[in-house]
Amino acid sequence: MPTALAADLVSDGTADARSLDAQFHSPVIAWFEANARDLPWRHEDAGPWGVMVSEFMLQQTPVSRVLPVYEQWLARWPRPADLAKEAPGEAVRAWGRLGYPRRALRLHGAAVAITERHGGDVPAQHTQLLALPGIGEYTAAAVASFAYGQRHAVLDTNVRRVFARAVTGAQYPPNATTAAERKLARALLPEDERTASRWAAASMELGALVCTAKGEDCARCPLAAQCAWLGAGKPAHEGPARRAQTYAGTDRQVRGKLLAVLREAVTPVPQSALDRVWDEPVQRARALDGLVSDGLVEPLPDGYYRLPLT
């Protein structure tokens, strides 16, 4: 059953600050200090740009796949201005097989805007971050919090799952972030900026390592004693069925294969080279049209294609 504190948070979004610190903030932050992974974007020398790059890359992509690409990216483009000078197609090429390559174009667009509007320095103000192309509420809050130590509710899938279980007693959060979740996240924020920033990182790490979607390890969880879901006996998910993402045979897979040919080519590629990577012509054409529409591929005369130059 939910604790009285959890019930207050769910019902009206209020709770005593000292109770929040004792039951939530202190144990989770202490766990984080002892168990946090040593990741390069958490190092002081990563700077705001390193944090921003990591946030773009980590969306829907596991850390193990991001690490090598992140290191190569920062070695090649240590500042936004370095990336802004390159053609957007080079960002797509360097993105490799991280998936969802539109993120590469958005990151390139953000780098251009940072260079033009902010003298090449990632802005610190939340409103300025939100105004950059390709940056939404989550990324703006994450960069402001992790890079600049500001007080913002940072709600990714891992954090939402921790809050759903520990506070509301549900196994999984809704498919899309709700107003109620945002209200709860704000109610849980520590008042002190530095503590709030650590809380954001710690609750995210807890969801990534312990309170996971498929294999929660409640014995290791610093919130086990006050977890509403655990206290209720771990009731099964009652909402809409959670569909696992598929990849094989989808347009996403075809798009990936087409982009792989273009990434590896140093000159424009003929249609015939793209035709060889997927046998089904209708799906192949649909995937290629989608890549062109998204700005990831540039069509040229005589049936040639390349990564975008502008």
Catalytically active residues, by annotation: 55
In whole angstroms, give the CA distance from residue 278 to residue 257: 8
Q: Taking Cα atoms as reference points, which of 269, 307, 301 lies closest to residue 87?
A: 307
Listed in sequence order, the residues at least 6 apart from 202 whose beta carbon sits closer than 8 Å to its beta carbon are: 28, 29, 31, 32, 36
Phi/psi at 112 (5° precision) = -60, -45
Distance CA(208)–CA(213), nearest Å, equals 9
CA angle 228/175/199 to nearest 5° reads: 50
Euclidean distance between the first and the last CA atom of the chain, given in angstroms as a whole number: 56
SS3 86: coil
Q: Name the residue among 32, 85, 109 with its Cα closest to residue 294.
A: 109
- Distance set, CA 99 to CA 74, 79, 125, 139, 201 (Å): 18, 23, 29, 18, 24
* H or E element, residue 117: helix 102-117
Whether residue 81 contacts residue 111, with contact meaning beta carbons closer than 8 Å, is answered with yes
Residues contacting residue 194 through CB under 8 Å, at least 6 positions apart: 149
